[in-house]
Amino acid sequence: MTFCTKQALAKQLRLYFVCGTTDASDLVATVKTALLCGVTCFQFREKGKDALYGDEKEAMARTLHRLCREAGVPFIVNDDVDLALAIDADGIHVGQDDLPAKQVRERLGPDKWLGVSVHTMEEVRTALPFADYVGIGPIHETQSKLDAGQVRGTELIQQVRRHHPLLPIVGIGGIRPEHVPAIMADGADGVAVISAIASAPDVATATRRFACL
């Protein structure tokens, strides 16, 4: 799944569900429901002490990739270039402590998406020649990433948008449906969400609340 324009990619990032087995009690069921209820992009982020690895991680990735393909939703792998290449994922997302964007791009080739988490304008500048989109956070306080750092609000989103009118941007971190209009108004193309969907008592209703905004 490749997109020729930044505008098309930006649209696809509108409701970006990020999840791994440690975030949801039943990951496959959660992703199936979220796909049915309106997520526009999915990232398999398998992190934490009880996370799957090796063959089990790859098998889970293949299952989720198939579900995403059936739903017409891009499947992005977090921080595992070997896995992304092995299963022909649509792209990869890396943070600042992962393999540098330049090296990821060299390994991925030009056709797959590369997303990079950024926290400063300097990190944006470094990522820009290689990244298709940037993730900016934490916008609000998050329980899902222990080393997420200080809460930033949308200041960096506004700054990046001023300097890079066409760069696809997603906000992340503690985002609930009621936050979405302000984040989008401040320049984001979409929101990336873990717990507000994965930990919701009713995944379908939670996803629809985001999707209809």
- Give 33 or 117: the residue with its C-beta nearer to ligand 3NM: 117
Ligand-binding site membership of 98 (annotated): yes
> In this chain, which of 161, 195, 206, 209 binds ligand 3NM, going by CB under 6 A?
195
- Give 4 or 25: the residue with its C-beta nearer to ligand 3NM: 25
Q: Select which of 145, 152, 161, 209 is catalytic.
A: 145
Ligand-binding site membership of 58 (annotated): no
Indicate whether 117 belongs to the interface with ligand 3NM (CB under 6 A): yes
Ligand-binding site membership of 194 (annotated): yes
The least CB distance from residue 138 to ligand 3NM, in Å, is 4
Please name the residues in contact with 55: beta carbons below 8 A apart, sequence gap of 6 or more. Answer: none
- Give 24 or 67: the residue with its C-beta nearer to ligand 3NM: 24
Task: Please give the Cα distance from 210 to 194 (Å, whole number).
Answer: 12
List, in sequence order, the alpha helices (H) in the chain. Answer: 6-12, 27-36, 54-71, 81-86, 101-108, 121-127, 155-163, 180-185, 195-198, 203-211
CA angle 148, 150, 154 (to 5 degrees): 100
Indicate whether 38 belongs to the interface with ligand 3NM (CB under 6 A): no
Q: Tokens standing for 126?
A: 């470094």
Ligand-binding site membership of 111 (annotated): no
Indicate whether 20 belongs to the interface with ligand 3NM (CB under 6 A): no
Question: With 0-12 CB in 10 A as exposed, 13-18 as middle and 19+ as buried, what is 153?
Answer: middle
For tokens 């569900």, name the residue: 17
- The whole-angstrom distance between residue 147's C-alpha and the CA centroid of its chain comes to 17
Verify whether residue 199 is a known catalytic residue. no
For tokens 């985002």, name the residue: 175
Indicate whether 87 belongs to the interface with ligand 3NM (CB under 6 A): no
- Compose the 141-180 pattern: x for residues touching ligand 3NM by CB under 6 A, - for all others: -x-xx--x-----------------------xxxx-----
* Active site residue ranges: 45, 117, 145
Residues that bind ligand 3NM (CB under 6 A): 18, 117, 135, 137-138, 142, 144-145, 148, 172-175, 193-196
